[in-house]
A and B are shown apart, each in its own frame.
Chain A
């Protein structure tokens, strides 16, 4: 199979990449676009460290052949906010101690942003379910739940 030229819309920008259609979206983001915020933790779709949004839906990018996202809107952690202007979810994670080693954090924050779009004032059950595909080994989740609640209480999420 030959490489193809694909147009990808990532964080609001259009990118053209030369890639095999079976490259994992995760690898295209990290290697070709040098957006290394999205991480590989397992390669099996279990840990959620590779979570991105595709057309507003939370997806594990390690399981997506890049050919399938032609024309789709992809948002990664880099697209949520820059260092100058943090997203309310990022602020909440900072204040509450929701990030320790930081490896699960990009995926966790993307999942949180997605959760809050679906449930702007989530119950604890909804928070737990919304993050059930993002494994964290450091925090024990408690401060992440607090961060989600805090972000929900902030307006304009």
Chain B
């Protein structure tokens, strides 16, 4: 014990108001201390600069957790034990509950406070990444009143904050809208407990149709302050989350962080692991998207990664227009099935009549086997699609044959219908109905049928 207790003034104000008055009377004179898990370590080591301490421990105004309409208000004096055990924090802000459980040991969690962790401003602190990811807002208070400050504006530099000398962190506000969000948090330290972070990351996000709708990533111990990865977020926002994007984000990350070599770890390690963690976070995020089956994402991911020619080749059987296939290949990366179908429709409908005809030509007559299948795959699919016709009686099959001939005479191309799930009788009825269409109407109908066929084939191809 390298300090002399006789040299310290230690006041225990009975209320928050009293504490604030003392701070106002002599701004800069007092070091507020709550649980003491940081201040007392410095004191024991003989390294505490301040001789005047103001105890905030136990002040009721600081230790409540309240649910408001759109947010939660967490008192600055809440201990980490309180945070991790609080049902609402576990439910609405699981990353903060996890960070609280990571901090130090059980004994330290019973004393360390949220405001203490923030104000101490260690870049390796456990709660900041989660607070950044949840876009926390600080409520600062002085004798003159309160003010709000977005948490990501609080850290100005290494151990320098926007807190004024007469101010305290009264509360931390966390918006309530994260319940359905994807979250991911991980800490890497020197051991499983009682470890200061070498790197700590927290991310919250939302996907929509495979694209990144929202993404907040907070990271610690890789810069002079806890960091919000805004550049990485910018890169990814509004776009599909693909492997290529993830690879790009790792490069952006390296420019955004500035880790140092210190007593705990090296620059190379911090950079490499930060990258690994970001990748793990984003991959997990991507897999959490609306399409539950991971296999389709994998098949799609592989297709996304192919060269142009091969990609076009691979998608051609779904709709046998070379131009369609080419345009689809150029529309990559495509995140998921929904997007694939959307793009497929759009691309198909924008084709010229010539290209449409190319697609139409690949289909065999209903009930017959021969056409000019562009690929063996489309032939196989055709067989499958037309299974209804294949199962029909001899009489129906004769009628279909006659109908096909009539249709070809009338319109100059093969009768096409999205046959999947339709019986031969249904197809006959449809054929006869359409024989009475004008050219224009019929073109619309057959384009529509091909569109449906293409959609079915795309699903099959992606394993859905």
A/B touching: CB–CB < 8 A? yes
Give the docked Cα–Cα distance between A43 and B193 (Å). Answer: 18
Q: Counting CB contacts under 8 A, is B263 at the interface?
A: no
Contact status B5-A59, CB under 8 Å: no
What residues of B have a CB within 8 angstroms of the CB of A106 in the complex?
none
Q: Counting CB contacts under 8 A, is B154 at the interface?
A: no
What residues of A have a CB within 8 angstroms of the CB of B447 in the complex?
none
What residues of B have a CB within 8 angstroms of the CB of A57 in the complex?
81, 110
What residues of A have a CB within 8 angstroms of the CB of B192 in the complex?
132
What is the minimal beta-carbon distance from A63 to any residue of chain B, in angstroms? 4
Give the docked Cα–Cα distance between A60 and B109 (Å). Answer: 10
Q: Counting CB contacts under 8 A, is B45 at the interface?
A: yes
Contact status B107-A20, CB under 8 Å: no
Interface bits A107-135 vs B (CB < 8 Å: 1, else 0)? 00001001000000000000001101110
What is the minimal beta-carbon distance from A94 to any residue of chain B, in angstroms? 24
What residues of A have a CB within 8 angstroms of the CB of B81 in the complex?
57
List 6 other contacts, CB 8 Å, given A57-B81, A133-B107.
Answer: A22-B10, A65-B10, A114-B106, A132-B192, A133-B106, A134-B105
Contact status B12-A21, CB under 8 Å: yes
Contact status A63-B40, CB under 8 Å: yes
Task: Indicate which residue in A27, A58, A63 contacts B41 across the interface (CB closer than 8 Å).
Answer: A63
Contact status B10-A45, CB under 8 Å: no
What is the minimal beta-carbon distance from A9 to any residue of chain B, in angstroms? 15
Give the interface of B toward A (CB within 8 A): 1, 3, 5-10, 12, 33, 35-37, 40-41, 43-45, 53, 55, 57-58, 81, 104-108, 110-111, 192-194
What is the minimal beta-carbon distance from B8 to any residue of chain A, in angstroms? 4
What is the minimal beta-carbon distance from B289 to any residue of chain A, in angstroms? 31
What residues of A have a CB within 8 angstroms of the CB of B33 in the complex?
65
Closest B residue to A26 using CB positions: B1
Within 8 A of B (CB), among A18-54: 19-24, 27, 40, 43-46, 48, 51, 54
Contact status B8-A45, CB under 8 Å: no
Question: Given the interface contacts A45-B41, A57-B81, does A51 sit within 8 Å of B5 by beta carbon?
Answer: no
Give the docked Cα–Cα distance between A68 and B9 (Å). Answer: 13
Task: Indicate which residue in A19, A21, A22, A130 contacts B43 across the interface (CB closer than 8 Å).
Answer: A22
Query: Closest 6 CB pairs between A and B?
Result: A133-B105, A132-B193, A21-B10, A20-B5, A22-B8, A63-B40
Question: Given the interface contacts A27-B1, A46-B194, does A51 sit within 8 Å of B107 by beta carbon?
Answer: yes
Contact status B5-A45, CB under 8 Å: no
What residues of B have a CB within 8 angstroms of the CB of A130 in the complex?
106
Task: Indicate which residue in B9, B35, B37, B107 contacts A58 across the interface (CB closer than 8 Å).
Answer: B107
What residues of B have a CB within 8 angstroms of the CB of A8 in the complex?
none
Task: Indicate which residue in B3, B7, B12 contacts A67 across the interface (CB closer than 8 Å).
Answer: B12
Most buried by A among B33, B36, B58, B105: B105
Q: Counting CB contacts under 8 A, is A1 at the interface?
A: yes
Interface bits A81-104 vs B (CB < 8 Å: 1, else 0)? 000000000000000000000000
What residues of B have a CB within 8 angstroms of the CB of A80 in the complex?
none
What residues of A have a CB within 8 angstroms of the CB of B40 in the complex?
24, 45, 62-65
Task: Indicate which residue in B6, B12, B41, B43 contacts A1 across the interface (CB closer than 8 Å).
Answer: B6
Task: Indicate which residue in A1, A48, A63 contacts B36 across the interface (CB closer than 8 Å).
Answer: A63
Give the docked Cα–Cα distance between A54 and B58 (Å). Answer: 13
Give the interface of A toward B (CB within 8 A): 1, 19-24, 27, 40, 43-46, 48, 51, 54, 57-60, 62-65, 67-68, 70, 111, 114, 129-130, 132-134
Contact status A43-B44, CB under 8 Å: yes
Give the docked Cα–Cα distance between A62 and B41 (Å). Answer: 9
Contact status A44-B10, CB under 8 Å: no
Contact status B105-A20, CB under 8 Å: no
Closest B residue to A42 using CB positions: B44
What residues of B have a CB within 8 angstroms of the CB of A20 in the complex?
5-6, 8, 10
Contact status B1-A43, CB under 8 Å: yes
Closest A residue to B85 using CB positions: A118
What residues of A have a CB within 8 angstroms of the CB of B57 in the complex?
68
Question: Given the interface contacts A1-B10, A129-B106, A133-B193, does A65 sit within 8 Å of B1 by beta carbon?
Answer: no
What residues of B have a CB within 8 angstroms of the CB of A133 in the complex?
104-108, 193-194
Contact status A68-B12, CB under 8 Å: yes
Most buried by B among A43, A54, A68, A114: A68
Task: Indicate which residue in A1, A19, A22, A60 contacts B108 across the interface (CB closer than 8 Å).
Answer: A60
Give the docked Cα–Cα distance between A54 and B45 (Å). Answer: 24
Contact status B9-A1, CB under 8 Å: yes
What residues of B have a CB within 8 angstroms of the CB of A68 in the complex?
12, 36, 55, 57-58
Contact status B8-A48, CB under 8 Å: no
Contact status B12-A129, CB under 8 Å: no
Give the docked Cα–Cα distance between A62 and B39 (Å). Answer: 12
What residues of B have a CB within 8 angstroms of the CB of A23 in the complex?
5
Contact status A132-B105, CB under 8 Å: yes
Contact status A59-B193, CB under 8 Å: no
Contact status B1-A58, CB under 8 Å: no
Task: Name 14 A/B residue pairs within 8 A (Cβ), A-sorted.
Answer: A20-B8, A21-B5, A21-B8, A24-B40, A27-B1, A43-B41, A45-B37, A60-B111, A63-B40, A64-B36, A65-B10, A67-B12, A68-B36, A129-B193
What residues of B have a CB within 8 angstroms of the CB of A65 in the complex?
10, 33, 36, 40, 53, 55
Task: Indicate which residue in B3, B7, B36, B106 contacts A132 across the interface (CB closer than 8 Å).
Answer: B106
Contact status B193-A45, CB under 8 Å: no
Contact status B44-A60, CB under 8 Å: no
Give the docked Cα–Cα distance between A70 and B111 (Å). Answer: 16
Contact status B5-A22, CB under 8 Å: yes
What residues of A have a CB within 8 angstroms of the CB of B37 in the complex?
45, 63
